[in-house]
Amino acid sequence: MSEPFLIGENMTGGYGNGPDILHDCTIAVNPGEIAVIVGPNGAGKSTAMKAVFGMLNVRSGSVRLDGEDITALSPQDRVVKGMGFVPQTSNIFTSMTVEENLEMGAFIRTDDIRPTMEQIYDLFPILRDKRNQAAGELSGGQRQQVAVGRALMTQPKVLMLDEPTAGVSPIVMDELFDRIIEVARTGLPILMVEQNAKQALEIADRGYVLVQGANGHTGTGKELLADPEVRQSFLGG
Partner 1 sequence: MDILNALVALTNFVLIPATAYGSQLALGALGVTLIYGILRFSNFAHGDTMAFGTMCTILVTWMFQSMGVSFGVLPTALLALPFGILGTMALVLFTDRTVYRFYRQQRVKPVVMVMVSLGVMFIMNGLVRFIIGPGNQRFADGERFIIKARAFKEMTGLNEGLAIKTSQGITVVTAILVVAVLFWFLNKTRTGKSMRAYSDNEDLALLSGINPDRVVMITWLIVAALATIAGVLYGLDKSFKPFTYFQLLLPIFAAAIVGGLGNPLGAIAGGFVIAFSEVLVTYAWKKVLIYLMPEGMGPEGLAQLLSTDYKFAVSFMILVVVLLFKPTGLFKGKAV
- In the list 3, 42, 72, 107, the residue contacting partner 1 (rule: CB under 8 A) is 107
DSSP annotation string for 104-149: HHTTT--S--HHHHHHHHHHSHHHHHTTTSBGGGS-HHHHHHHHHH
Q: Is 181 in the site for partner 1 (CB under 8 A)?
A: no
Build a one-symbol-per-residue string for 21-60: x at contacts with partner 1 by CB under 8 A, - elsewhere.
----------------------------------------
For position 232 contacting partner 1 by CB under 8 A, the verdict is no
Closer of 62 and 88 to partner 1 (Cβ): 88
Looking at residue 79, its amino acid is V
Q: Is 89 exposed, middle or buried (0-12, 13-18, 19+ CB in 10 A)?
A: exposed
Q: How far apart are CA 126 and CA 114, in angstroms?
A: 17
- Report which residue type is found at 150: R
Binding mask 55-84 for partner 1 (x = CB under 8 A): --------------------xx--xx----
- Residue 150 binding partner 1, by CB under 8 A: yes
Residue 104's identity, in one-letter code, is M
Q: According to CB under 8 A, which one of 25, 29, 58, 91 is a site residue for partner 1?
A: 91
Name residues whose C-beta falls within 8 Å of residue 156's C-beta, 6 or more positions apart in sequence: 79, 82, 83, 84, 188
The residues that touch partner 1, with contacts defined as CB under 8 A, are: 75-76, 79-80, 85, 87, 90-96, 100, 103-105, 107-108, 150, 154
